[in-house]
Amino acid sequence: MENKYKKYIAWGIASLCLTFTACIGDLDQEPKLDKSGQSIYNEADAQSFLAKIYNGFGLSGNVGPGGNGIADEPDLQGDDQGSLVFLRGLLSMQLYPTDEAIWNWSDEGIVELCEINWDYTLFYAYTFYQRAMLNIRYCKEYLDVYPADINIPNIARYRDEVRGLRAMNYYYLIDLYRNPGVVWDDSPTNDKSWKPSQIGAEALFNKIVEELKDLSENGNLAETPSMSTYGQITKPVINTLLAKMYLNAEVYTGQPMYDKAAEYAKKVIDAGFGLEENYENLFCGENHLTAMKKNEIIYAIPFDDVNAKSYGSTIMVTAAAYGGILNSTWFGLGASWTCLKPTQQLIALFDGPTPDNGVTQNKFGSLIKKDKRYIFFDVKSYEDDGSVAERRDVNTLMGDWSTGYLCHKFTNLGWDGAEVTPTNNPNTDFPLFRLADIYLIYAECAARNAAGTDRQTAVNYVNLLRERANGDTSQNIGMPQLTLDFILDERARELYWEGHRRTDLIRFGKFTKGYAWAYKGGSPEGKADIDDKFKIYPISDRDLTANPNLKQNPGYDSL
């Protein structure tokens, strides 16, 4: 099949790297626009700057995955740049402190994340905050440099995309930190002495929602999905963010707003998306092709082995999950890291039947379920003839790759599992938002009896996912089964390793109380109850030092 069409990458990483600087230091980031040499007030440069902002979700710097592209950070040079990638930070902070996965290595900050035992020095609390705030500062600079009345074709749409990207960064910041510093249209960023201040979670929530609603109702963004809008901010992306903001409003502000979450979820559903028939295609090296078929992926972070590669790409859920006798070349990748494993608690959520045709193993010898979302590897060793000699113990131990099951949900293979020549970096895009999540948001709101929802419609949405997973209607549910416990488990089965689980567990009241999983609280078997402060990440000591306007989050010590 043909190579990906990556519109914003096609606009030219080379040109944006030459035109715009990139550094990450303290929270006073000042992304200076180099105006020497040529005028920047033309569509090509406006597009290049926009491309740079988009690439803030997937890349670390200007020099490639391990290049020296970050100034003022001697500890984050070379391969360590991967720690600064938005996606790597998001997955680290959303997966490892949950029942979805553990990281097998003792990298800085990782053990603390897996054990939910961190303080204000947590490494990823610093790097993710830095990356998101730098993205936001670039958005502010773009809106300053390219005002609405500038004579550039399509500038209204470009500006709305930038506003949407800013709101997306703030969605994740309010979710992870609750009360980050604020850089907005009226921030005097040209004043070098100015530093961001916090305005409180409720005020920030209202600011983000107001921006998103204006983009949804009055914006110049594309209304429906297509290949030409793949990887771009569109109105359905904006409405997805609104659905998620409202879904978690009770956590963020203390006020439940499930009725509004359902309202915006329905807007996304009605925009023209559809479920991809083959679940595994959503996570393969050609998953962008869903935009030519069913359009299940609402927004993706694009990656490829040539123009968009980093040590924080989908390599985090491909190479990181391969190793030992789980050969990475089986999945189209030439690299394996032996570090990412599913927990036994995730495996246990797939308690359904085996396939009806009597086939109990896949081509690797792993035992399989009727539910095709069960994509796990349980072989410990093979006989000389290729048959299974021994199976792995489902219980995983940190630091011991031979224990626990493995997972190959994400691959670098072609469409429908087509074999490819292995590459060292995956061509797999990361599906940040997709239709299945929206179906489950609506279903959750219905299960919570939100005004304006219909329980039968919610059941129908859930059953569309279960019919795809099981190949028939045998595992469908009825209205009595549409409970909150079921929804939480179904979200795990459908969305595992996609960056939602920590947020889900907090919203359902199970992150810090009443539920134990591997390594939660520091022991291999896990502890059910831990300090509620861990629902919110701390502001890093480095940020507190750099910006005295910032105050530490409740429960954490401060400098």
The Cβ of residue 391 has, within 10 Å, a number of other Cβ atoms equal to 14
pLDDT at residue 474, rounded to an integer? 97
C-beta separation of 51 from 6 below 8 A: no
pLDDT at residue 415, rounded to an integer? 98
- Write out pLDDT tens, residues 327-363: 999 999 999 999 999 999 999 999 999 999 999 999 9
C-beta separation of 171 from 209 below 8 A: no
Per the structure block, which two tokens stand in for 200?
A: 């409180």
The Cβ of residue 367 has, within 10 Å, a number of other Cβ atoms equal to 16
The stretches of 270-335 forming alpha helices (DSSP H) are: none
pTM above 0.85, yes or no: yes
Per the structure block, which two tokens stand in for 88?
A: 């790597």
| CA dist list (Å): 350 to 279, 285, 345, 506 | 16, 25, 9, 22
The strand pairing partners of 341, in sequence order, are 102
Q: Which fold has domain 1-218?
A: 1.25.40
The helix or strand, by DSSP H or E, that contains position 489, with its residue range, turns out to be: helix 484-495
The strand pairing partners of 430, in sequence order, are 301
Q: What is the spatial distance between Cα 310 and Cα 79, in angstroms, rounded to a whole number? A: 9
What SS3 class is residue 287? helix
Q: What is the spatial distance between Cα 296 and Cα 281, in angstroms, rounded to a whole number? A: 10
Write the Ramachandran bin of 462: left for phi over 0, alpha for psi from -120 to 50, otherwise beta. Answer: alpha
Largest CA distance in the chain: 71
Q: What is the spatial distance between Cα 409 and Cα 287, in angstroms, rounded to a whole number? A: 13
pLDDT at residue 31, rounded to an integer? 56
The strand pairing partners of 361, in sequence order, are 367
pLDDT at residue 400, rounded to an integer? 96
Write the Ramachandran bin of 278: left for phi over 0, alpha for psi from -120 to 50, otherwise beta. Answer: beta
The Cβ of residue 456 has, within 10 Å, a number of other Cβ atoms equal to 11
Q: What is the spatial distance between Cα 59 and Cα 81, in angstroms, rounded to a whole number? A: 9
Q: Which residues contact 434 (CB under 8 A, 6 or more apart)?
A: 282, 296, 297, 298, 498
Interaxial angle between packed helices 435-447 and 235-247, expressed in degrees from 0 to 180 and rounded to the nearest 10: 30
Q: What is the spatial distance between Cα 234 and Cα 55, in angstroms, rounded to a whole number? A: 17
What SS3 class is residue 390? strand
C-beta separation of 99 from 88 below 8 A: no
Average model confidence (pLDDT) across the chain:
91
- Write out pLDDT tens, residues 445-486: 999 999 999 999 999 999 999 999 999 999 999 999 999 999
Write the Ramachandran bin of 191: left for phi over 0, alpha for psi from -120 to 50, otherwise beta. Answer: beta
pLDDT at residue 320, rounded to an integer? 97
C-beta separation of 505 from 511 below 8 A: yes
Q: What is the spatial distance between Cα 289 and Cα 292, in angstroms, rounded to a whole number? A: 5
Report the share of the chain in percent with pLDDT over 90. 85
Q: Which residues in the chain land under pLDDT 70?
A: 1-38, 61-81, 559
Q: In degrees, to the nearest 5, what angle opens at C-alpha 126 toward C-alphas 429 and 307?
A: 30
Per the structure block, which two tokens stand in for 234?
A: 């569109």
pLDDT at residue 21, rounded to an integer? 34
The strand pairing partners of 390, in sequence order, are 381
